[in-house]
Structure 1
Amino acid sequence: MHLRLRPKIVALAIMQNFFRDILHSFSVQLLLLHLRSNFLLLAVWVLLVLMMSGLLGPNLGLQYLFLDPEYLGDTDFWSFFIVGGAFGFFTMSWNLGTYLLIGGYFNFLASLSRPFFKYCINNALLPLAVFLFYCGLLVHFLRPGKDIQPDRWLIGESLSGLILGLIISLFVYAIYFNLTNRDIGYYQPRFREAPPNMGPGQSRKRTSGYRPYRAKALAPMLTKMYDNPYDVKTYLGENLRTRLVRSVAHYDSAVLQGIFRQNHLNAIVLQLGTIIALALLGLLIDQPLFQIPAGASFLVMFSLIVAIIGAISYWFSEWRFVLMVCLLAVFNYISSGPLFRHGNQAYGLDYSTTADYTTERLKALAGSEQLGQDIAASRNILERWKARQPADKPPLIIVCASGGGLTAALWATHVTQTLEQCTGGNFIRSTALMTGASGGQVGLAYLRESYLSDPEFHLNDALRLDRISRDLLNPVAFSLVSNDLFLPFTRVKVGGKSYRRDRAYSFEQELATNTGSILNKPLWKYRQPEQEARIPMMFVTPSIVEDGRRMVISPQGVSYMTASPAALRGDLPLQPDMVDFRWLLQDQEPDSLHFATALRMNATYPYVLPLVRLPTKPSIRLMDAGYRDNYGVVSAARFVTTFKDWLLENTSGVHFVQISAFREGAEKEERDDRRGAIESLFSPVGVAGNILSVQILDQEVLLGQLAESLGPDRFFLHRFNYESDADDPLRTSVSFHLTDREQMQVLQAIDEKEFQERLDRLIRVIE
């Protein structure tokens, strides 16, 4: 019986020793130490993994920044090469930061040649796991399903670029540390007695190669604390072979600490040099060659975060949390001063004076002469619009385009161009007003300007679709990392005026490049074409952060948009809920506002683009129109209500063409009502955080009221909502970056039977 059990016992003992050896290896002990003490640095890795996998910000398309990086307009070997290099940069920043913090706990490193290099090899478990996970995501992304043949060339090109960029980045770091870092050989004679195999306090073993420890032994506890506090048995060498950890108790502690200090100094010098290099690159941000992929910019930003956390933790140890909180408080106080208060500015406006922004001043428009003049001027525009129509009572079209990044911009352009083609060039001519938010309005504005200025407008549909879907995120992300962080005081001249330069300027420059600079014109340039009804009027309506009102930007006087007709007539004591931009800033050169800036203010998604500060007193800031009206319906309804009598008398009906992206996406899948105690604490704020769903329900009520007011035979609603399939693993995102597959999905959606039937109904109305 005992003989039968002996092989099992031996096998069990071998297995236990095997796992014990793994547990006490340097690589595993490093990882465990990170999990115990470096959770701030680990949080950066967790954030990166969540972004790559799409678990964080899937609707914003954060995963596509890494899975579909774009460089110089293409997703190819070089774009992945740059991302791979940035991943290597991030990995080495992680190694440097953790080496500063915990390298000194492993004194045996100082006795080895090239200690930092060996530390990096043994510290590679986490970076290697994340990189392999990234490669797996990339292969899955490039082979999405059975219906699409995998592009094996693209897979190989992407992976080879990613891996080569990583290797070269690590190789450059290795050269630097190999040339600068010192090891024990620098401090010891070239020919010296070999070190002992065992430290003091360890039992003697009869071995031919045994070398005794000649000094007086320390107490066993002190020996362990100094020599090898985490009981590391093995480490990986340069050839990735396992080597035994030797005692360093016989070395002078001053020599060992001197090695670590010298290595730490080189690490700090390299990090400072990197920061300086990034700042210098910020000066070259206008050059497309230096606008690296957005995913690479995020990796660089994460590298800086790791470097800052590591440096603060190294110098201030257990005081690091207190110091970080104090630094944030000091930075907040300093940034609130007059030196930093400028923020982002609207290009074209005069900031040397300020306009009064008070409720009393806004109310002064009610019953004023200005109000009557603006109503009469817009009625004249409608009369000229009617004169250009073939029928005595034509249908009046109002186009409302939703926000939704480049997806919404492409979809709005695609649907409007399709209607224009199918109606023989009558759709835009039948349109009196365009409203919207964010990306959708960018698409409408680009289409409207092309209609005005391009003599071959109807021949360039494919070119416009290509231009409007080009990346806008790379320069924004790179500017955030290089310019906004390190060169916040740089200035740029626009229209002869000086403004602070930041990622907003990069966004407008890239938009100009993508669209052939046709949107780079002042607001007043559109006044006459709109007055002559050669193009539809357009209301750009960003939201005011401070009070929630909407700013109505138009080259025409639109004071009638600031409140309901009943309030403007004085029938009801209602407060204004909109602000006429040109009326409010009449002394700040509002007509000089760059139209591209107006579109950018309308698409100022928080954090992606900076909020825009206007020259008012008190100061107000503008952000994305989607905060108040993501679908443009509220503005259109106010316009229709104001001119209701004229519309009923002079048109056959008002037709709202609502072009939206992801409108139905607000509906959530059913889930169990089982919630934990902590989850239940946050459930009451769920409705408050679901802004778009609330807007949809409010607008359903508003559209119903319009139908009742005009009559069911005089108000019509045509909806074209793009929504990717719920079971699509690569759902189209709300972002300033579109992948090739996302573009294809958007363009092919118009061929669906549902949209074809709606197109036919609307075409019959216009024809």
Structure 2
Amino acid sequence: AASLKFMLVGAGLLYVLAGLVRRLRGHWNWILAYLYFERVPLAGSLMLVALAYLGVAGPATTRNLLITDRWHQLLILSYLVFLAAYLCSFTGMLIWRLGRYRFGVRRIGYQRLRKYRRSLQTVPFWVLVLPMLLALFKRTLLGSGAAAAMILLGGLLGWLSLQVIELLREKIVDWYRLHRSGPNAVQKLAQTLGSGYYNANTGQAHRGHAMALVTMGFLGIIYLAGYWQLNPKSPLFEVPPFAYVLGLHMILTSLLSGATFFIDRYRIPLLTAITLYSALVYNTTRTDHYFSLYREVLPAPAIAEAVSARLALADSSADSSGKGIVTLVCASGGGIQAAAWTARVLTGLQESIGPAFPRSIQLISATSGGSVGTLYYLAAFDPHRGLPTRPELLPEVIDAASASSLEASAWGIIYPDLLRIVFPFIDMDLDRAWALEQAWRRQLKPLWAQADPQKPEARLPMLSDWMRRTGQGVLPGVVLNATVVESGQQLALSTVDYPASDSSTTILFDRTFHRVYGDSADLSMVSAARLSATFPYVTPVARARYAGGGEGPLLPSWHIADGGYFDNQGVMAAVEWVQAVLKTPGLRARIGKILILQIMAFPDHQQMPSPENGNGWLSALIGPVQGIVNVRTSTQVARSELELQLLKDAYPGKIETVTLSPAEGDPPLSWHLSQNDIAQLRAAWVQLGDGTGVARIREMFNPAETK
């Protein structure tokens, strides 16, 4: 019965389509031409509909974008949805009205449809608005009454804005008419641009462009206000990440619609124009992204020195033999999910076990989001006691690691990065990476200040600060893993100096930060975390330069990318640490058990997926790319498991490995967590607290209590 209904519906649609084709016979050349000229407004319209769908039924990353839990967030998004839909319908209508002048093609059905032209703009507008508003209503955490009120208020503000735009257009046109003593600047510009801009019959610019100029001016004021009001260094208020998506949508719709209206007359493809412009900008201006190095002469402490100092401080943790227990933490990558989970596991184990656990940590090797969580956790360490200052500071570590920074990255995309493209000759040091760092700095400052209120320095931690503390034993060794783009090799942003490679150590620790950039180079720890967490395209790959244009030894021109490309689990640094330390006789005798704790940000989905029907040609099309993407993770996991097993075989009874990961969930791979995501992480840790992994760790530190 279902198949019969499907066939009947399909036959009906084919009949209607056939009738439409017959009625439009002889017009297809013009129809196809206008579809081409309208490609930007059409693409913008489809994008709005797609965003509405993905916000409800898409992956966690897109679903989170539409979540609102405060009234002003829903109000702002509703308002911007109205503006974005208006812009798509207005630009499409403008191209349809002026296309015959600009492109020399017949305007389809203009005389017949002229009296309906307002409806022709209004109907597409509501077709675009309603799905998005329904999606916002479905995804909001506000009550239905409050949500409906905010959506209606946002729509009312949008309608009032359109009335203001129309009023300004009328006032400007009237003013030009009253004060015109000859051709004004607008008319001269329109005449220079030619047909479609200038009406030779009236000697004036076409009226539609006046409306376009006023609309762009109105939106430009909102855009410029956002540059200062939303600056991530000190924002007056925050808007949801989806507001920046809508802002970028409106900017691209405006710029590309204007560009195609101009170049389509000369039959220049948009992609060709963009390619030529990009080549011009690339070859004539500075397009690279940078991270800043500072001058500070302080060599990294040797592993033996750091371990000895840390063991002297950690005398409260020992195994059954009386020797010190050593914990090596490997924190995996995975965006804000990894940052929040790393912070929650480390603080949770400290709350469960006590001071013995943080004091036993000799090394934290972190990658990508795990590096950000590590940054917040270690910033809370007391510089005298070697563990977080006080228990009540631990929830603040979790809150800082869970705080969204996607808004800052989005601000960087639509402001400094976009301005660098549109105005390439303006030398700007700001970019989306700078914006992301500002968001992390705002979260880091309270932790850093509370950890040691008496410390004289007001600056946030530098690599040299943490190297000094590592050498004193009050901070564990830290390796934030990054990747060199040009060679594909690892770059270890390390506070300890690994031994030089020899025949038995074939992994790479010749490429630590100071061996690459020299002992006189220093780096902000926030920048180090950013380099390790250079999430593809959200954060740009960057190369080094001295801060403030300072001078120093010649720096390599390598670009640094996310550490997850090379070692997303952070295991290799731990393996090298064990090799180096256990080959030192004096240290080996002082170390009891070595716990290698793997903090994995995502549930274990290494099992083979259940058999399903194939996707035919779609699998053939995307299969190779999908395989390349998936094999990066699977091979790294397999390599890490093999390395750890070989290490355990080399030192029987010496090494224990524990992996802690959420049992379930579909977290986003971005820099934004919803309140529901945060609650799921909290519940996942509570569930793990009763599991075998945490129980094994407790038994190592408190064997008497677990018997």
Q: TM-score, normalised by structure 1?
A: 0.72
Tell me how far apart the structure 2 counterparts of residues 627 and 419 of structure 1 sit (CA, whole Å): 29
C-alpha distance after superposition, 1:39-85 (max 9, x if no partner): 443333333444443389955612211223xxxxxx31111111112
Residue in 2 that maps onto 1:693: 634
Residue in 1 that maps onto 2:515: 583
Q: Describe the shift of the 1:340–1:540 C-alpha distance in structure 2 as closer, same or farther (beyond 3 A).
A: same
Q: How does 1:332-371 map to 2 (within 5 A)?
A: 332-337=279-284, 339-341=285-287, 343-349=288-294
Residue in 2 that maps onto 1:306: 253
- Contact in 1 for aligned 2:306/2:470 (Cα 8 Å): no
Tell me how far apart the structure 1 counterparts of residues 118 and 444 of structure 2 sit (CA, whole Å): 46
Tell me how far apart the structure 2 counterparts of residues 606 and 577 of structure 1 sit (CA, whole Å): 24
Q: Describe the shift of the 1:703–1:307 C-alpha distance in structure 2 as closer, same or farther (beyond 3 A).
A: same
Q: Describe the shift of the 1:668–1:294 C-alpha distance in structure 2 as closer, same or farther (beyond 3 A).
A: farther
Residue in 2 that maps onto 1:267: 212
Tell me how far apart the structure 2 counterparts of residues 488 and 184 of structure 1 sit (CA, whole Å): 32
Q: Describe the shift of the 1:259–1:175 C-alpha distance in structure 2 as closer, same or farther (beyond 3 A).
A: farther
Q: For 2:292, what is the secondary structure of its paired residue?
A: coil
Residue in 2 that maps onto 1:246: none
Q: 1:597, CA displacement in angstroms?
A: 0.7
Q: For 1:400, what is the secondary structure of its paired residue?
A: strand
Alignment length (residue pairs): 616
Residue in 2 that maps onto 1:467: 400
Tell me how far apart the structure 1 counterparts of residues 137 and 572 of structure 2 sit (CA, whole Å): 44
Q: Which amino acid aligns with 1:90?
A: A
Instruction: Say whether 1:511 aligns with 2:440.
Output: yes
Q: 1:120, CA displacement in angstroms?
A: 5.6
Tell me how far apart the structure 1 counterparts of residues 36 and 211 of structure 2 sit (CA, whole Å): 27
Instruction: Say whether 1:483 aligns with 2:413.
Output: no
Tell me how far apart the structure 1 counterparts of residues 264 and 503 of structure 2 sit (CA, whole Å): 65
Residue in 2 that maps onto 1:566: 503
Calculate percent identity across the aligned residue pairs: 19
Q: Describe the shift of the 1:577–1:463 C-alpha distance in structure 2 as closer, same or farther (beyond 3 A).
A: closer
Residue in 1 that maps onto 2:43: 43
Instruction: Say whether 1:633 aligns with 2:571.
Output: yes
Residue in 2 that maps onto 1:160: 149
- Contact in 1 for aligned 2:84/2:249 (Cα 8 Å): yes
Tell me how far apart the structure 1 counterparts of residues 528 and 423 of structure 2 sit (CA, whole Å): 22
C-alpha distance after superposition, 1:99-147 (max 9, x if no partner): 22112436459976xxxxx7464334444334332343344435xxxxx
Q: 1:155, CA displacement in angstroms?
A: 3.1
- Contact in 1 for aligned 2:416/2:428 (Cα 8 Å): no
Instruction: Say whether 1:658 aligns with 2:656.
Output: no
Q: Describe the shift of the 1:734–1:324 C-alpha distance in structure 2 as closer, same or farther (beyond 3 A).
A: closer
- Contact in 1 for aligned 2:82/2:155 (Cα 8 Å): yes
Tell me how far apart the structure 1 counterparts of residues 309 and 279 of structure 2 sit (CA, whole Å): 49
Residue in 1 that maps onto 2:533: 603
Residue in 1 that maps onto 2:277: 330
- Structure 2 unaligned spans of 5+: 1-15, 25-29, 99-106, 176-197, 449-459, 546-553, 703-707
Q: 1:184, CA displacement in angstroms?
A: 14
Q: Which amino acid aligns with 2:80?
A: A
Residue in 1 that maps onto 2:188: none
Q: Which amino acid aligns with 2:599?
A: I
Tell me how far apart the structure 1 counterparts of residues 581 and 388 of structure 2 sit (CA, whole Å): 33
Q: For 1:461, what is the secondary structure of its paired residue?
A: helix
Q: 1:742, CA displacement in angstroms?
A: 0.9
Q: How does 1:282-431 map to 2 (within 5 A)?
A: 282-284=227-229, 285=231, 286-289=233-236, 291-317=238-264, 319=266, 322-337=269-284, 339-341=285-287, 343-349=288-294, 374=302, 376-378=304-306, 380-381=308-309, 384=312, 389-390=317-318, 392-431=322-361
CA RMSD for the aligned pairs?
A: 4.0
- Structure 1 unaligned spans of 5+: 1-15, 25-29, 69-74, 113-117, 143-150, 187-252, 352-369, 492-497, 569-573, 726-730
Q: 1:321, CA displacement in angstroms?
A: 5.1
Q: How does 1:203-222 map to 2 (within 5 A)?
A: none
Q: For 1:62, what is the secondary structure of its paired residue?
A: helix
C-alpha distance after superposition, 1:721-763 (max 9, x if no partner): 11534xxxxx321221111111111101122267533212211
Residue in 2 that maps onto 1:61: 61
Instruction: Say whether 1:94 aligns with 2:105.
Output: no
Residue in 2 that maps onto 1:129: 127
Q: How does 1:3-82 map to 2 (within 5 A)?
A: 38-54=38-54, 61-68=61-68, 75-82=69-76
- Contact in 2 for aligned 1:476/1:608 (Cα 8 Å): yes
- Contact in 2 for aligned 1:107/1:256 (Cα 8 Å): no
Q: 1:499, CA displacement in angstroms?
A: 7.9
Tell me how far apart the structure 2 counterparts of residues 182 and 388 of structure 1 sit (CA, whole Å): 79
Answer with 1 or 2: which has the greater Rg.
1
Q: 1:500, CA displacement in angstroms?
A: 1.0
Residue in 2 that maps onto 1:172: 161
Q: Describe the shift of the 1:31–1:408 C-alpha distance in structure 2 as closer, same or farther (beyond 3 A).
A: farther
Q: Which moved more, 1:92-101 or 1:127-136?
A: 127-136
Residue in 2 that maps onto 1:450: 380
Residue in 2 that maps onto 1:83: 77
Instruction: Say whether 1:680 aligns with 2:620.
Output: yes
Residue in 2 that maps onto 1:203: none
Q: How does 1:708-727 map to 2 (within 5 A)?
A: 708-711=649-652, 713-725=653-665
Q: TM-score, normalised by structure 2?
A: 0.77
Instruction: Say whether 1:501 aligns with 2:430.
Output: yes
Q: Which amino acid aligns with 1:154?
A: G
Instruction: Say whether 1:758 aligns with 2:693.
Output: yes
Q: 1:433, CA displacement in angstroms?
A: 0.5
Tell me how far apart the structure 1 counterparts of residues 74 and 363 of structure 2 sit (CA, whole Å): 43
Tell me how far apart the structure 2 counterparts of residues 625 and 56 of structure 1 sit (CA, whole Å): 32
Tell me how far apart the structure 1 counterparts of residues 135 and 113 of structure 2 sit (CA, whole Å): 38
Q: Describe the shift of the 1:135–1:490 C-alpha distance in structure 2 as closer, same or farther (beyond 3 A).
A: closer
Q: 1:88, CA displacement in angstroms?
A: 1.9
C-alpha distance after superposition, 1:421-448 (max 9, x if no partner): 1212211001111111122221122112
Residue in 2 that maps onto 1:367: none
- For 2:672, which of 734, 737, 740 is the aligned residue? 737
Tell me how far apart the structure 1 counterparts of residues 277 and 421 of structure 2 sit (CA, whole Å): 17
